[in-house]
Structure 1
Amino acid sequence: MTRFPFRALLLAGLLPLAAAAADYAPPERLDDGWAVADATAAGWNLQPFASAETSIADGTWKGVTSLVVAHRGALVYERYFNGGGRDQLNDTRSLTKSLTALLVGAAIDRGLVPDAQARVYAYFGDKRPFGHPDPRKDAITVEDLLTMSSLLECNDDNTFSSGNEERMYVTEDWIRFALDLPIKGFAPWESKPADSPHGRSFAYCTAGSFLLGALVERAVRQPLAAFSHAALEKPLGITAIRWNFAPDGTAMGGGGTRLRSRDLAKLGQMLGDDGLWQGKPVISKAWARAMLTVRAQAREDAEYGYQIWRFHFPRDGKDVPAWAMSGNGGNYVFIVPELDLVAVVTSTAYNQRFAHPQSQGIFRDVVLKALPAERN
């Protein structure tokens, strides 16, 4: 008798979608610190996962390379697609910004940076004088950069902006590029900080995130990658990571760091668990909570904390706020501390307009729909 693979039968429509539960297997327990759990035994609805696998396989959803879900501190779902794999170092692009914010917190925890109110320009005296000097620059704080709300004229969403990241990449000295940006003005149709929610006028600025990483390097007196290894990767059991660097060797704290999907989930789990991993502090509770506090209105449908987004998703008629490390191509780490839920979506749909809506849809229509009902 000819045998047909289960997946082929499912794609051909010869098996009901509900039968896909038979194809589920819990994530493999490895020596990487992750506990694992059986989603079936935990009450998860596996049908949305089966539907997602079908949509990825038939190309309805494009470029998705992994979906990893952790609930109550244990991995419950782990699948790889389109050439992705457990050992694949995913190019997460701007998701790196959240990693840089964690390293800012680690430096503050160690007393190497005073606090989020530290003045940025005080760390870069060697870069003076500037072509665009302005006394207001000396008042710019670490928090201003963390919240994408400094007065530097920098907006990646505006191709005419002096600070657009593409302009930085063609220069040799990225630090000077960022520091020497002019002070922004506000057109009549734009809200000034005093008139904006939370008192901050948001503008997405990769150059500012890069500057944060450079500041940490100077404060801790070692390369950002080395500090990251000691402060985050070693305590989390992350053994493979790849950083990008500026022409002068400064780590690119604004994007392009490559990590494995299970390790991305660790970052989310640790941040959502008040800085703890396996019961031990990696960053302070104070910093974890500071990062996951709304600081600015980024868009009509999203807020911003410290280098991390907050989106809103419907579930059972209720609003579910989810924090999200996010990068070009549809790369995400979703964190919902109230549900003890972390979900990683990696994708290579770089510069595609559908990429972010697609990954957010996977979280909304797959992960949240599959999630068991909350315990009373």
Structure 2
Amino acid sequence: MNRAVTCFSLAATLLTAATAHAASFEQAQKAVEQGEFKAITSILVARHGKIVYEHYFDAEGAEGRRNTRSVTKTVAGMLAGLAIADGHLAGASTRIFDVLPVSRRQKMLNPDARKDAIDVEDLLTMSSIVECNDENQFSRGNEERMYLVEDWVQFYADLPVQGFPAWMPKPADSPHGRSFRYCTAGVTTLGEVVQAAVREPLQAYAQRRLFDPLGIAAPAWQFSPLGLAQAGGGLGLRTRDLWKLGQLYLDGGRAGGRQVVPEEWVRQSLSAQATAREDADYGYLWWLMKIPYGNAVITAPTMAGAGGNAVFLLPEKQAVVVITTTNYNERQPHALTFKLLTRDLMPAL
């Protein structure tokens, strides 16, 4: 009898806690439902490894595979770390043209010894020597130009070396010795580097070494015209899948009682390797967002994709926040997501 009372009391306590959590996120949910943040499709908040709030604002619901665009790039960084841990790549300093098919170098336009020296870490930090900048519509390496050709990896290999006029800091003069330029073609190429190294289709390796251990089923990959799984964007995952990936890194690479990704790789990935802009550093395909919070500034490692899709890690709160959207055609969609996070969700934690 006492045991039954104790169990009932515990259940009541848990129900009360869950209700309190739900109530604390009512402001955020109401704001989204009223259209303040445009097309938010889902929000998930987890703390200490448990979901404390989860809501879907579209018909797809919990089982919908969300095209979170460049969040895929962070997954590519995870796969590179696993390929190194498995002994398929010697390390982040491995030169990519030593791994890619020989034809890549043989057919290369604009050959240059500095291109031959491009390594895995250059791709992980968006700082390779070739002229590639998605944020510059005139860049030869802009991703929209890549999609116009059949062979996306050869597109990257053919790019000329970046010039550094007087008004642009050279890599040696930049923070961390790297000139950051956001380059989807480089991460697309990283996907083929990993695939060539592991001698297995990238999507199969990802499933076996990353997704299966996390219980992530049936991810929806996009492919290049030549059939390469696109490491640079477009991977469709459920909102809970995105949480699992974020939680994996918040927990130092551990999940389900096992070390899925090496702890040292997680540490390196979440450490500043390049400076992206004033309010963000960059790790290994992780944004390290600097968020003003109270009288302090906290660093939130972030998986981010077009439209304002994001997975935020909040180590100080032991929390993961997932926000998915379809705000692809909105001006400054990331600002909408950031406002939702900082104004409504973080205070609720």
Calculate the TM-score normalised by the size of structure 2. 0.92
Matched, 1:50 2:37: no
Q: CA deviation at 1:83?
A: 2.8
Describe the superposition over 1:140-167 as per-residue Cα deviations: whole angstroms up to 9, x where unpaired: 1100110000101000000111100000
Q: Which runs of 5+ in 2 are unaligned?
A: 1-12
Structure 1 Cα separation of the partners of residues 60 and 280 of structure 2: 29
Question: Is the CA contact (8 Å cut-off) linking 2:28 and 2:345 kept in structure 1?
Answer: no
Q: Which runs of 5+ in 1 are unaligned?
A: 1-36, 372-376
Structure 2 Cα separation of the partners of residues 87 and 43 of structure 1: 24
- Correspondence for 1:19: none
Report the structure, 1 or 2, having the larger helix content. Answer: 2
Residue type matched to 2:67 in 1?
D
Task: Spell out the pairing of 1:151-300 with structure 2 (5 A cutoff).
Answer: 151-300=129-278
Structure 2 Cα separation of the partners of residues 342 and 148 of structure 1: 25
Structure 2 Cα separation of the partners of residues 110 and 330 of structure 1: 33
Question: Is the CA contact (8 Å cut-off) linking 1:217 and 1:223 kept in structure 2?
Answer: yes
Matched, 1:126 2:109: no
Structure 1 Cα separation of the partners of residues 235 and 295 of structure 2: 37
Residues 1:40 and 1:97: Cα distance change in structure 2 (over 3 Å): farther
Structure 2 Cα separation of the partners of residues 114 and 338 of structure 1: 34
SS in structure 1 opposite 2:307? coil
Structure 1 Cα separation of the partners of residues 55 and 96 of structure 2: 42
Q: CA deviation at 1:43?
A: 10
Structure 2 Cα separation of the partners of residues 266 and 249 of structure 1: 27
Matched, 1:102 2:71: no
Matched, 1:68 2:47: no
Question: Structure 1: which 4+ aligned runs deviate by more than 4 Å?
Answer: 37-40, 42-48
Q: CA deviation at 1:315?
A: 2.6
Q: CA deviation at 1:101?
A: 0.4
- Correspondence for 2:3: none
Q: CA deviation at 1:336?
A: 2.1
Residue type matched to 1:357 in 2?
A
CA RMSD of aligned residues (A): 1.7
Q: CA deviation at 1:39?
A: 9.1
Task: Spell out the pairing of 1:27-46 with structure 2 (5 A cutoff).
Answer: 41=17
Q: CA deviation at 1:131?
A: 1.6
- Correspondence for 2:331: 353
Name which of 127, 130, 133 aligns with 1:149: 127
Structure 1 Cα separation of the partners of residues 113 and 24 of structure 2: 55
Which deviates the most, 354-363 or 294-303? 354-363
SS in structure 2 opposite 1:314? strand
Residue type matched to 1:121 in 2?
F
Residues 1:47 and 1:353: Cα distance change in structure 2 (over 3 Å): farther
Structure 1 Cα separation of the partners of residues 18 and 271 of structure 2: 30
Structure 2 Cα separation of the partners of residues 99 and 295 of structure 1: 17
- Correspondence for 1:80: 56
Name which of 285, 303, 317 aligns with 1:307: 285
Q: CA deviation at 1:340?
A: 1.4
Residue type matched to 2:239 in 1?
S
Which deviates the most, 261-270 or 117-126? 117-126
- Correspondence for 2:5: none
Give % identity. Answer: 47
- Correspondence for 1:339: 317
Residue type matched to 2:125 in 1?
T
Describe the superposition over 1:340-360 as per-residue Cα deviations: whole angstroms up to 9, x where unpaired: 110100000014223101111
Matched, 1:139 2:153: no
Residues 1:81 and 1:222: Cα distance change in structure 2 (over 3 Å): same
Structure 2 Cα separation of the partners of residues 45 and 236 of structure 1: 26
Question: Is the CA contact (8 Å cut-off) linking 1:65 and 1:348 kept in structure 2?
Answer: yes
Aligned residues: 335
Describe the superposition over 1:183-208 as per-residue Cα deviations: whole angstroms up to 9, x where unpaired: 00012211111111111110000000
Q: CA deviation at 1:337?
A: 2.6
Describe the superposition over 1:228-267 as per-residue Cα deviations: whole angstroms up to 9, x where unpaired: 0001111000112110110110110000000000010000
